[in-house]
């Protein structure tokens, strides 16, 4: 009966529940020998059911152990394959980060939410050949800080934390594109966002500076040109403001 559990109307567990009380129940007879014989038979039935169930459990445990062994072996093989395959990066990661990161300190919470979502997606794309690990948990914490920051100082702190997270996956060869996009955003953004752009540039260059040494000369020339452009831009803007003020007067 226990071996046919799949087709029985009662499972082995249910049968055991039926038979077990019979071991302790005294039949309606005064013959002591008959009582002993009935207990022996009932006990044997329960014992057989229990033994068959234990055999099934042992077989299941064997299958589980086999599956765990196969899973570990597959993980090891995948890890070896992963390490042997050349890793490719997302070639527009640096420029896109530079374009949107300054707006992580925008005055509108909806804009900050948009920036957070975009950077999270970019990290997922950039981190595909890697293991993001604890980054997802860090991002969840930063999401609340970034969207619910009570003042600009708290925004700057949350934005700097996100910049440090991004720096872990930042490809050094994209430093030039990042700097260009960041400065372009800085020139067209609000003062708060412009400050955020400077923070991001500082964090990325600091965290990834050692890996950028090969392009140090190129980046230095770029920064010098961008500095000159920035000074010229603000000087011309100031002259325009003075001219407008003079006309109004």
Output the six-digit token pair for 88: 């490719």
Output the six-digit token pair for 43: 């006990």
- 77: burial class by Cβ within 10 Å (0-12, 13-18, 19+)? exposed
User: Any alpha helices (H) in 85-174, and if so which ranges?
Assistant: 93-100, 109-126, 135-147, 152-167
- pTM above the 0.85 mark? no
Output the six-digit token pair for 156: 């700057």
Per-residue pLDDT at 245:
47
Per-residue pLDDT at 36:
58
Measured CA distances, 99 to 31, 115, 184, 226 (Å): 96, 10, 8, 15
Contact 207, 167 (CB under 8 A): yes
Mean pLDDT, consecutive 10-residue stretches, the chain (249 aa), reads 56 62 55 62 75 80 77 72 60 88 86 86 70 70 81 88 88 84 80 87 79 56 58 50 49
Contact 185, 97 (CB under 8 A): no
CA distance 93 to 59: 51
Per-residue pLDDT at 224:
60
CB hemisphere CA count around 208 (13 angstroms): 28
Residue in 4, 5, 204, 28 with CA at minimum distance from that of residue 102: 204
Per-residue pLDDT at 121:
84
Per-residue pLDDT at 147:
79
Q: Is 239 left (phi over 0), alpha (psi -120 to 50) or beta?
A: alpha
Contact 167, 204 (CB under 8 A): yes
Output the six-digit token pair for 177: 């594109």
CA distance 61 to 43: 27
Output the six-digit token pair for 198: 């400077």
Residue written as tokens 């420029």?
Answer: 95
Contact 156, 189 (CB under 8 A): no
């Amino acid at each position: 009966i226990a071996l046919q559990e799949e087709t029985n109307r009662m499972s082995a567990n249910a049968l055991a529940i039926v038979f077990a009380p019979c071991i302790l129940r005294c039949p309606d007879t005064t013959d002591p020998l008959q009582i002993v014989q009935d207990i022996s038979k009932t006990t044997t039935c329960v014992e057989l059911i229990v033994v068959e169930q234990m055999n099934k459990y042992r077989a299941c445990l064997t299958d589980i152990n086999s599956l765990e062994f196969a899973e570990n072996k597959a993980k090891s093989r995948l890890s070896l394959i992963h390490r042997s395959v050349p890793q490719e990066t997302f070639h527009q990661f640096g420029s896109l980060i530079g374009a949107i990161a300054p707006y992580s300190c925008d005055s509108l919470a909806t804009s900050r939410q948009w920036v957070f979502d975009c950077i999270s997606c970019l990290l997922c794309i950039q981190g595909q050949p890697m293991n993001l690990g604890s980054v997802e948990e860090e991002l969840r914490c930063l999401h609340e800080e970034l969207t619910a920051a009570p003042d600009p100082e708290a925004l700057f702190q949350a934005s700097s934390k996100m910049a440090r997270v991004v720096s872990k996956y930042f490809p050094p060869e994209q430093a030039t594109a990042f700097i260009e996009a960041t400065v372009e955003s800085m020139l067209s953004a609000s003062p708060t966002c412009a400050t955020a752009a400077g923070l991001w540039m500082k964090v990325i260059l600091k965290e990834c500076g050692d890996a950028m040494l090969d392009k140090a000369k190129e980046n230095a020339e770029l920064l010098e040109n961008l500095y000159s452009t920035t000074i010229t831009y603000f000087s011309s803007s100031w002259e325009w403001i003075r001219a407008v003020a003079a006309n109004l007067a």
